[in-house]
Amino acid sequence: MKVKEIPVSLFNQARLTWQSQKRLEEGKETVPAVVSLASIPSRLGIVHITIRSILDQSMLPEKIILWLHQDLKDRIPKKLSKLMGERFSIQFTTYSSSHRKLVEPLKIYPNKVIITCDDDMMYRKNWLSNLYKAHLENPDRIIGNQTRCISYTDNNELLPYKNWSSGTYSCPNPKAVLPIGAGGTLYPPHSLDDRALDQEVFLKLAPKADDLWFKAMSLLKGTLSVKSKYTVKEPVPIWGSQKVSLKKSNIEGDKNRTQWLALTDYFKLKF
């Protein structure tokens, strides 16, 4: 987290923590979508703030589901459990990879719009409504608030991840648009290949890169991804949530590049 982000983070954490759940939810229109996220033990004490930020949206999803490993069943903090009800639920898995935030709801709600997000962010009030507005205009596309372009050299060699250009520019190849999960990604029903649920394969090829796994599954299905044209401020990181993060190892170690090469080779994906 940047130093200048700390006061904004602490202010928003305090604001969300002290608002009553009733005040967060009352009098709001519901969007026909499921919001899904997963968390890990080190963030169990702060993920309630992310849930509250979703309840603080200008429009609410039908359901919010948090996925935890089954070993955490008896360790749910009171601040999190008291949010549970008709709209928000916690469900448990036998595995811990971040893929579960989409893999598991696809099994339960195959015909629903599913929006994934991260467990260490506070999302802006118009985050959900703008994603859904973009979906209505592109009903057959996967929508990302943040995107990159999967980038190759002129000799068709994959560039390092840090050189995959930001989605503020149009990707020369529409198939190369990669939604970034931290900003929130909307998946319309039936937008991924059925192999998306294959736990053995995704843990083998892309164990630390769920964004890349789902991108490969969208290409196998023939579904394009687009960046939402509705500007949303970046989500605010939760102070103290970055002690354990995939971002550092994936980017600094260029593991995103390694995992994308594994996926494109295995599935014979060509750009």
Dihedral angle, C-alpha 101, 107, 110, 114, nearest 10 °: -10
Beta bridge partners of 227: 144
* Largest separation between any pair of C-alpha atoms in the chain: 57
Higher pLDDT, 8 or 124: 124
156/65 Cα distance (integer angstroms):
40
129/91 Cα distance (integer angstroms):
25
pLDDT-derived band at 3, boundaries 50, 70, 90: confident
User: Which amino acid is located at 68 in the chain?
Assistant: L
171/148 Cα distance (integer angstroms):
8
Query: What are 126-182's pLDDT values in tens digits?
Result: 999 999 999 999 999 999 999 999 999 999 999 999 999 886 667 889 999 999 999
Closest CA to 80 of 54, 99, 102: 54
Residue 244 has a pLDDT of: 52
Residue 118 has a pLDDT of: 97
Question: Does 57 have pLDDT greater than 80?
Answer: yes
- Record: fold of 5-267: Spore Coat Polysaccharide Biosynthesis Protein SpsA; Chain A (3.90.550)
pTM equals 0.93
- How confident is the model over 62-89, as a mean pLDDT? 97
Residue 187, CA atoms < 13 Å, CB-side half-sphere: 32
Question: Any idea what the Cα angle at residue 180 is, between residues 94 and 10, rounded to 5°?
Answer: 85
Are residues 184 and 102 in contact, defined by beta-carbon separation less than 8 angstroms? no
Question: Does 245 have pLDDT greater than 70?
Answer: no
Spans of all domains in the chain: 5-267
User: Which amino acid is located at 93 in the chain?
Assistant: T
pLDDT-derived band at 32, boundaries 50, 70, 90: very high
Question: Does 260 have pLDDT greater than 70?
Answer: yes
Residue 253 has a pLDDT of: 57
Beta bridge partners of 93: 69
Residue 259 has a pLDDT of: 98
149/170 Cα distance (integer angstroms):
8
Higher pLDDT, 251 or 264: 264
Look over the chain and give the mean of its residue pLDDT values, rounded to a whole number: 93
13/124 Cα distance (integer angstroms):
12
Residue 59 has a pLDDT of: 97
Beta strands in 94-243 (DSSP E): 113-116, 121-122, 142-144, 147-149, 177-179, 185-187, 225-227, 236-237
Question: Does 267 have pLDDT greater than 90?
Answer: yes
Residue 251 has a pLDDT of: 52
24/255 Cα distance (integer angstroms):
39
Percent of the chain with pLDDT over 70: 94
Dihedral angle, C-alpha 197, 80, 185, 62, nearest 10 °: 90
pLDDT-derived band at 48, boundaries 50, 70, 90: very high
